[in-house]
Amino acid sequence: MAKQVSIVDLKGQLEEIFAESDYDFLSFLLGDYDEEAAFAAKLEHHEQDGGGEGGSEYCYTVFSIGDVYYKIAYSYYSHHGYETDYATAYEVTPVQRMTTYYE
């Protein structure tokens, strides 16, 4: 079950990790970040979905720092672009599920 966490605290933690880098929150969410700093902090970017032309308005990014997984939800609007001012953050747990396909 996802547990909501403070987006301010999580942003602060990311700023500390990328303190020596040219860090931008939105760029991180979209997968553009200093990989050496991430590796040193045991940060792993797992998934990003939504946004962009033809993409979903609902966007999210999943990443982990050590053994703790986080999901940040934000929005994309074609007339405005990405909106992270009202982003929400959750501590999540990875769960494997079986899917059946009929081909």
Compute the Cα dihedral for 78, 80, 25, 87 and give only its sign: negative
Q: Does 102 fall in a domain?
A: no
Q: Which domain holds residue 73?
A: 3-92
Q: What angle do CA 100, 74, 34 make, to 5 degrees?
A: 90
Q: Does 99 fall in a domain?
A: no
Q: What angle do CA 34, 80, 6 make, to 5 degrees?
A: 55
Residue 53's pLDDT band (boundaries 50, 70, 90)?
Answer: confident
For the stretch 10-50, pLDDT in tens is: 999 999 999 999 899 999 999 999 999 999 999 999 999 99
Residue 68's pLDDT band (boundaries 50, 70, 90)?
Answer: very high
Q: State how many domains the chain has.
A: 1
Q: Does 103 fall in a domain?
A: no
Listing DSSP states for the chain in one string gives --EEE-HHHHHHHHHHHTTTS---HHHHHTT-S-HHHHHHTTEEEEEEE--STTS-SEEEEEEEETTEEEEEEEEEETTTEEEEEEEEEEEE-----------
Residue 2's pLDDT band (boundaries 50, 70, 90)?
Answer: confident
Residue 77's pLDDT band (boundaries 50, 70, 90)?
Answer: very high
Q: Does 55 fall in a domain?
A: yes
Q: Does 34 fall in a domain?
A: yes
pLDDT of residue 12: 95
Alpha-carbon gap, residue 96 to 93, rounded angstroms:
10
